[in-house]
Structure 1
Amino acid sequence: MNRLPSSAASASPPRAAAQTRFPLAIVGAGALGLHFAARLARGGPVAVVARTAQRAAQLRAGIYVGDMLYRAEAHGPDALPEAEWVIVLVKAADTADAARLAAAMRPRGVLSLQNGLTEDVLRAHCGGAGGVALVAQGITTEGAFRDGDRVTPSGAGETLVPPGFEAVAGLLSRAGFRARVEPGIAAARLAKLLVNLAINPLAALFRVPNGALLDPPFRACLDALVDEAWPLLRAEGLALDEAAAHARVAEVARATGTNRASMLQDVLAGRRTEIDAITGMLLAMAARRGVAVPVHQAVFTLVKLLERG
């Protein structure tokens, strides 16, 4: 997922003066955003909002996504098109900026497919009176990573969207994604959080692809994180029993076996990670309920040390 600059935080980002109204736009030109955009673009126009005008120009010149040279219909934050639907795929810390950009495109709806639980922030900055009426967070377990100047898709997952986003699910399905509307999206988001809690920090700490976490010596750590998080997430509304929780994490790790988790990509690139939006979210839940989660606390501390050094 991509970061946006602080300059994107203007109250009313300008739109391009003479642009087609796109059926779909993606805010976030990181590996996952470009993976989605490149596949969706095979079936129709897709706008990509990059972090700067310079980056947008680079994407218009072309970038390899898998084996395909993809010339994105890319825009900087200072020249936004209009769009019917907007998918947000940026780092959780950049949600507010991305929401303002999304709202400026005057869409029917804004859908987050980010890590963490970002729906409240998204709604606060692009919903409300006079804002976008339909704002929600779905989930995706698709995988992609940046390999030099190339984006490498690395695992076919599933994308779930909330009711109201049937049109987006249709666009995704026609592009070949496994996508569907999920009425119980709140529980599904907690299941995705569980997956991120287990896989992302360990991949970053051990610097291994997702699939390696299923083998010794990493598997014991993976299981310990699931064991500790499951009761807390269950109390918050997770619909999986304990065995199903372990199976879900293993299934995603296996399906995205060659993927470099986003937190690993951030550590390797010297960027700030999403540990606050992922493990930090669990620590806040634990504090609210008076529950100790020492394994997650240790992982959180270690990843924060990596960020500093």
Structure 2
Amino acid sequence: MKVGIVGSGSIGLLFAAYLSRAFDVNVYTKTEEQAVEINKYGILLKKGSGRTITFVTALPFSKWEGAEDISIIAVKQYQLVDIIEKINQLPSDPKNLLFLQNGMGHLKQLESIRARNIFVGSIEHGALRENPYTVSHNGMGMTNVAVFKGECEPLIQFVSSVPVEFPFAVRDQYHDMLVKKLMVNAVINPLTAILNVENGALVYNSNYYRVLEKLFEEVAEILELENTQAHLEQLINICHTTADNRSSMLKDLEAQRLTEIDAILGFILAEAVKKGKKTPLIESFYYLIKGKETGGKEVKI
């Protein structure tokens, strides 16, 4: 089975390093320069004290044609516009597309895609790209996947061949799967990004934890989560198990990149408006992150 990975950030490199142990993998990069480096040096995967080098075929995104048996779209949500435009201009519809974005703001965009089967996923791994061909696997987790449109059989076939050391799980409902991940991202990411702390600080510092509880309460109400205590315990557990991790939103701000705040809190704010609910904390963190994205510079509203 041939696998295409569109995107060569931390997640793209992480998936390429592991999936290439079982599949023929092509990685599609934003720049030709990165493709040259990956082809020359391979992908260096760092996990604990271990180091492995995997060679894959790297090509610039301009050469992607969606011809692989499954294409994994591992870019930020705000980068999907160009990807979707390219998909809809391909001479033939891609067979199977798996989208791995945070939040749920991208789901409407997926409705416009010409493809036989569309899958979505949520990732529990922690990863950091250190240079164009090196990725550090900082936190082991699960990749949850589900059908957004089309048939499930190709997804099951793919997952059945994934290396056991990089587990996938096929879920029945994409909405419930993404809501669970959205809840986690909506609380941990903005808090750690504004406070400039690792995930564990949110539960180890009693003052930070009080804010975590309040933000969680707002998020849980808008997402209409059942058994909120169980969700809160899951959130606390994630903070403990990923205590030394720096969230993706924090890393984006540190690298002076755009964040996925619109796909995460922006989506929840839109849901709150539909339901006529007030969300002072969610709204505050949303605008704080938007302000940080501009480096604190004045922006006309």
Aligned to 2:198: 209
TM-score by length of 1: 0.83
Counterpart in the other structure of 1:259: 245
Q: Which amino acid aligns with 1:166?
A: I
Output one character per residue of 1:66-99: Cα deviation in whole Å (capped at 9) or x when no partner.
Answer: 1223333111022225200011111101113223
Alignment partner of 2:222 out of 232, 246, 255? 232
How far did 1:157 drift? 1.6
Indicate conservation of the 8 Å contact 1:95/1:122, yes or no: no
Distance in 1 separating the partners of 2:263 and 2:139: 23
Match of 2:117, as an amino acid? L
Aligned to 2:298: none
CA apart distance, 1:209:
2.1
One-letter code aligned to 2:209 = R
Shift of 1:188: 1.3
Counterpart check, 1:64 vs 2:44: yes
| 1:224 positional shift | 1.6
Alignment check: 8 A CA contact 2:200 2:244 kept: yes
Alpha-carbon distance between aligned partners in 2 of 1:301 and 1:190, rounded to the nearest angstrom = 22
Equivalent residue for 1:108? 95
Task: Give the superposition deviation at 1:141.
Answer: 1.3
Distance 2:6 2:59 in 1: 10
Pair 1:24 & 2:9 matched: no
Amino acid at match of 1:220: R
1:35 offset after TM fit, Å?
A: 0.7
**In structure 1, C-alpha distance between the alignment counterparts of 2:164 and 2:212, rounded to whole Å:** 33
Q: Contact (CA 8 Å) 1:144, 1:155: kept in 2 or not?
A: yes
> What amino acid does structure 2 have at the position aligned with 1:281?
F
Identity %: 30
Deviates more, 1:191-200 or 1:133-142: 133-142
Q: 1:269, CA displacement in angstroms? A: 0.5
Letter in 2 for 1:184: Q
Q: Are 1:296 and 2:282 an aligned pair? A: yes
Give the superposition deviation at 1:263.
Answer: 0.7
Which 10-residue stretch deviates more, 254-263 or 271-280?
A: 254-263
Q: Aligned AA for 2:45?
A: V
Given the alignment, which residue of 70, 77, 84 partners 1:85? Answer: 70
SS of alignment partner, residue 227 of structure 1: helix
Q: Which runs of 4+ in 1 moved over 6 A?
A: none
Letter in 1 for 2:101: Q
* 8 Å CA contact retained: 1:154, 1:259: yes
Q: Deviations over 1:242-300 (max 9, x none)?
A: 10110222233333333221111110011111111111111111111110111111111
1:225 shift after superposition: 1.3
Residue identity matched to 2:52 = M
Gaps of 5+ in 2: 296-301
Q: Separation in 2 of the partners of 1:175 and 1:48?
A: 21
Structure 2: distance between partners of 1:51 and 1:148? 14
Give the drift of 1:106: 5.0
Aligned length: 278
- Note if contact 1:27-1:102 (Cα within 8 Å) is conserved in structure 2: no
Name whichever of 188-197 and 199-208 sits farther off.
199-208
Deviation string, structure 1 residues 15-71 (Cα, Å, up to 9, x no partner)? xxxxxxx62111111101111110111222111111122221122222422122333
Corresponding residue to 2:128 among 145, 157, 178: 145
Is the Cα contact below 8 Å between 2:218 and 2:279 reproduced in 1?
yes
Please, which of 152, 161, 165 is the counterpart of residue 176 of structure 1? 165
Moved more, 30-39 or 217-226: 217-226
What residue number does 1:95 align with?
Answer: 80
Q: 1:256 to 1:45 in 2, by over 3 A?
A: farther
User: 2:98 and 2:18 mapped to 1: Cα distance?
Assistant: 18
What is the alpha-carbon distance in structure 2 between the residues aligned to residue 121 and residue 168 of structure 1? 24
Match of 1:133 among 109, 116, 124: 116
Contact persistence 1:160–1:181 (CA under 8 A): yes
Rounded to whole Å, the distance in 1 between the matches of 2:189 and 2:76 is: 14
Deviation at 1:119, TM superposition (A): 2.7
Deviation string 1:92-137 (CA, Å, 9 cap, x unpaired) is 011132234456485321111210112321231x32xxxx111132
Q: Distance in 1 between matches of 2:118 and 2:111?
A: 6
Other-structure match for 1:242: 228
**Structure 2 residue 98 is matched with structure 1 residue 119:** no
User: Residue 94 of structure 2 contacts residue 116 of structure 2 at CA under 8 Å; is this kept in 1?
Assistant: no
1:175, distance to aligned residue in structure 2 (A): 4.6
Matching residue within 281, 291, 298 for 2:267: 281
SS at match of 2:200: helix
